[in-house]
Chains A and B, each alone.
Chain A
Amino acid sequence: MIHRLLAAMFFVFAFSGMANAEPFKWGGPIGSQTSDGYNALGPVVQQPIEFPHYRHARDMGINCMYCHTGARRGYVSVIPRIDKCIGCHQSIESVRNKPRIKKLFWYWDHKEPIPWKKVNDLPDYVRFNHERHIQRFYFRQNRPVREVCGYCHGDVANMTVDRRVKALSMGWCISCHEKDHRENDVSMKTSHGPYECWQCHK
């Protein structure tokens, strides 16, 4: 199944790369994404800055966790602090006058947080733990980061502004927890995800 998923993802990567540098910019109508059986494509969200994920993750090959530093450490993946952005961009003169970067520096100069809109949101009674998933699939199974993050977030590395592409519903979570996953990259031992209510509903 994972292979089929990967193949589908590859197809999406390849196709979208050819057609458009920012393939998910317009998206289809809500619910048009049906490859995993959950009509899941979320709305296009207007962000304060059109952050080009494809530029960072695909073109530059930056690991998702370089910016989303909480994903391997805690429950939330963390929207990067602004000084993280500035840390690199103050040395990248070539893009310093681009409109998006100007906007970024405006926030930085005014010491104001950027009011990003939530794209992948869950109800308050659900506590999704990023750390558990990243530790298992990225560190122990040694899989590529874009694949691991992509299980839930889709192919963000080919998006400009992020867009929800998976259902993030309970049934969708369970559909993956039901499957047997290898415990690490050296052993063939497998186990499925937990089913206990309290694992997510604290």
Chain B
Amino acid sequence: MSESGINRRDFLKVLGLGGSSLALTGCGNTDIRSGDEVIMPNVQPEDFVVPGLSVYYASTCRQCGSACGVMGRVREGRVLKMEGNPASRISGGKICGLGQAAVQVQYNPDRLTQPMMKVGSSLQPISWDKAMALLDEKTGPKSGIKGEEFGFLTGAMSGHLNVLTQNYMESLDSRNHYVYEALSPAISLAANRRVYGVDQPRLHFDKAKLIVSFGADFLGTGASPVHFAAEYAKFRKAPRGTLVQIEPKMTMTGGNADRWIAIIPGTEGVFALGIANQLLKHSEFTGTVPADIVDLVSKYDADTVSRITGVRSELVGHVASLLWEKTPSLVISGASVEGHAHGVQNAVAVQLLNQILGNVGKTIDGQAQSPFPQLSPAAGSFSALKAMNEKMGADEFKAVFIHGANPVFTAPSFMGFRDNLRKVPFKVAFVNALDETAEECDLVLPIFTAVEEFGSNVAWYQPEGVEITIQQPLMNQLYPDTRSMGDIMLNLVKARKADEYKAWPDFFSYLKTAIINIKPVVKYTDTDEHFWYDTLSNGVIHVDGAPQQVSAKFAATDLRLPASANAQDPVYPFYLVPSERHYFRDGRHANCGWLQESPDPMTTIVWDSWAEIHPKTAASMGIKEGDWLEIASQNGMLKVKAYVFPGIHPDAISIPLGQGHESLGRYAKGVGVNPFRILNPVFEKDTGELALYGTRVSVRKTGNSEIVVKDEGPVNTQMGRKLVVTLPADVAQLSKEI
């Protein structure tokens, strides 16, 4: 009892009463005040709009090139949520996180809402009338611009917008349509064409008992991650398939693998040939490849392979015996295999295993031939950007248009792209938000987002037949001063070919006519109008077709790999692995708060960039997590925090792509670093593509340190408690298992 007469127990009682009365107040009357909020009823909504009730509309996701069919949940004329469209063979009714974030692109506070024109050194708002008059003055029929003086840079595009773009270029008599993707599949397509004669064979993950993936992050960033994830789920059902991943830095797919093997970047082809050498010793594989290849492969004994690749020699035989044992299998290659000077050779060496194992025709076959080749996607490449950059540097262009790409951000600094772009007298960007490239342009036109626009899309990876995914607006335009890219393109074509296009007042009517023309091919028997509305409500048109027969063809010359891929470099001892994050891709999605907040699947880091470094390397250099490092190549330096990560080769440093924006919006600007900047001019020698993984870097500790913001708990220490007893992989002798 205290002097005041209240003891601790009484005090707690009083406090308890006070607390509960407060709680009761919380459950009772609320702070809602009548008349404080406003309800705005629709003036004249569509008949089917019932406030409070959601309606689902089919459309196409445009967040990446997979062209998944999606459904948008719409309430009171606003799109609120994206789901997969079960009618789509690509998405199978599923959707990924990147697709979900399409609504945040739509409601992004940094969207450009009116046309802008460069006045002096800054962009100033102007009206659409003035903008279109300027566009006409500089590039219209009366401008006198010649085809070779005009360039159009776009991202990968397909469907009818692509057709219109081609027609526009034709009307200008210009062959300067540059299709550019910073993370393009061009090297992979080239290797496929060389081996199979087609751009992209179809991969049957579900039919394989074993998948050996050389750096293919098919669950995160591959050609069609949502589809591949569904196929992968079937592959993992009983009898459970086995996944082996061989790559320099663990990707999300690598994190799912039963056996993950770290390899020196660029030596994956050597490892594949080492496995081929082991396999060809088995009598059942005799005669699967020509004698000169057998001869070439025989030089790759396990010790040689181990010396070049940095992988323990017994693992060569181990993976070979797994492949021998589990059939059919599927061997695939990905970006970290292809992004080298000898990228095509590396990828061809990986495909050689499929030929030896007899997978071609079992787990690999062709895609169906599209009856509408004009709708097929124009795949992007780096060489397109290079060609455009050279022409801009030589002052050959009077005007350029840029749509669907941000080359000022993604072009490596050695190209001097920004300076060359500044040389062009008239530059126009068609964008949703002001990015680094738009900031450099003379005229910036705000266009509809994917959920406001009509369109059609054809993905370059088709699981079955050919799927044309229809994009219909999920809501009306949010800002009155934005316009449809389709309408703009149609008007541009009309300015030059008025007679041919006079039947169509807008892109919608053009698309509708074009889609109705597909009706006979899909053997639809009802009226045109019914076909159109059925197509809109289904969201997809399926054109069935038998898969093309593919057979593999190999030449020994395509398998000549450099013997010194792992040459030591005393100044730049580390291999830079610029990893693609499945949420950011080439950086175009960085201004999305949801995606910034989504933890990286491997490191769980949010809102930042980091440099992954192996614990042994970190220990030898005295580096701890959070230490600021200077990662320098011949072409630049990045200051970035260290993240000590066991899932990386000790000679490699990995920095994720997509961050380091100087523009784009409040969530992207000033966050992290941009590894594109420091890439070296190393090119794939057959295709001329940028070798993304061919840059060597040095690492220097600055002495400063800062906390790394991440979701991950102390995984390695378990806070001193033995929650989960673990053993290192070599002690556990996993080789006996997987």
Contacts and interface: CB of A to CB of B under 8 A. Distances in A.
Interface of A: 42-43, 45-46, 69-70, 73-76, 78-83, 107-108, 111-123, 163-164, 167, 169-171
Contacts of B40: 113-116
A118 B36 contact: yes
Interface string B34-55: 1111111111110000111100
B32 interface: yes
Given A45-B35, A111-B44, A113-B43, 11 more contacts: A42-B35, A43-B33, A70-B52, A74-B52, A76-B52, A79-B39, A112-B43, A116-B40, A120-B34, A122-B32, A169-B30
Consensus secondary structure, chain B interface: loop
Contact of B35 (A43, A73, A111, A169): A43
Q: Which 5 A-B pairs have the closest CB atoms?
A: A45-B35, A76-B52, A74-B52, A113-B40, A42-B34
Contact of A123 (B32, B42, B44): B32
A73 B42 contact: no
A117 B53 contact: no
B52 A169 contact: no
B517 interface: no
A80 B33 CA distance: 22
A107 B43 contact: yes
B20 to A, nearest CB: 15
B28 A171 contact: yes
5 contacts: A81-B42, A116-B38, A122-B30, A123-B30, A163-B34
A110 B44 CA distance: 12
Nearest to A168: B32
A80 B31 CA distance: 26
Contact of A171 (B27, B38, B39): B27
Interface residues of B, number: 23
A83 B50 contact: no
Contacts of A121: 32-34, 36-37
A116 B44 contact: no
B37 A74 contact: no
A81 B126 CA distance: 35
Interface in B1-38: 27-38
Contact of A74 (B31, B43, B53): B53
Contacts of B37: 117-118, 121
B43 A108 contact: yes
Contacts of B36: 117-118, 121
A4 B32 CA distance: 29
A83 B43 contact: yes
A45 B44 contact: no
A119 to B, nearest CB: 5
B91 to A, nearest CB: 27
A121 B32 CA distance: 7
A95 B28 CA distance: 44
Nearest to A44: B35
Contact of B41 (A111, A114, A120, A163): A114
Nearest to B35: A45
Interface string B402-428: 000000000000000000000000000
Contacts of B53: 70, 73-74
Contact of A170 (B27, B42, B50, B51): B27
B39 to A, nearest CB: 5
B29 A169 contact: yes
B41 A82 contact: yes
B41 A113 contact: yes
A25 to B, nearest CB: 15
A170 B27 CA distance: 6
B128 to A, nearest CB: 21
A119 B50 contact: no
B44 A81 contact: yes
Nearest to B76: A76
Contacts of B52: 70, 73-76, 78
Most chain A beta-carbon neighbours within 10 Å: one of B34, B40, B50, B53? B34
A107 B27 CA distance: 39
A113 B42 contact: yes
A111 B30 contact: no
B42 A117 contact: no
A169 B28 contact: yes
A82 B34 contact: no
B44 A70 contact: no
A171 B36 CA distance: 23
A164 B36 CA distance: 13
A42 B33 CA distance: 8
Contacts of A167: 29
B140 to A, nearest CB: 34
Contacts of B27: 170-171
Nearest to A118: B37
B39 A116 contact: yes
Contact of A117 (B30, B32, B38): B38
Contacts of A111: 43-44
A79 B43 CA distance: 11
B38 A118 contact: yes
Contacts of A43: 33-35
Contacts of A78: 41, 50-52
A111 to B, nearest CB: 5
A113 B51 CA distance: 14
A81 B45 CA distance: 7
A79 B41 contact: yes
B29 to A, nearest CB: 5
Contact of A82 (B32, B33, B43): B43
B34 A118 contact: yes
A170 B416 CA distance: 65
Contacts of B50: 69-70, 73-74, 78
B34 A81 contact: no
A85 to B, nearest CB: 9
A78 B33 CA distance: 19
B384 to A, nearest CB: 46
Interface string B517-532: 0000000000000000
Nearest to A81: B42
Contacts of A74: 50-53
Nearest to B41: A79
A82 B44 CA distance: 6
B28 to A, nearest CB: 5
Nearest to B31: A123
Contact of B39 (A42, A118, A170): A118
A43 B35 CA distance: 8
B44 A119 contact: no
A81 B44 CA distance: 6
Contacts of A112: 43
Interface string B705-725: 000000000000000000000
Nearest to B51: A78
A119 B34 contact: yes
A82 B41 CA distance: 7
A81 B43 CA distance: 5
Contacts of B31: 123
B273 to A, nearest CB: 59
A80 B41 contact: yes
Nearest to A164: B34
Contacts of A169: 28-30
A169 B28 CA distance: 5
Nearest to A39: B29
Interface string B347-385: 000000000000000000000000000000000000000
Nearest to B32: A121
A43 B36 CA distance: 11
B67 to A, nearest CB: 33
A120 B42 CA distance: 19
B707 to A, nearest CB: 34
A85 B502 CA distance: 40
A158 B31 CA distance: 27
Nearest to A83: B44
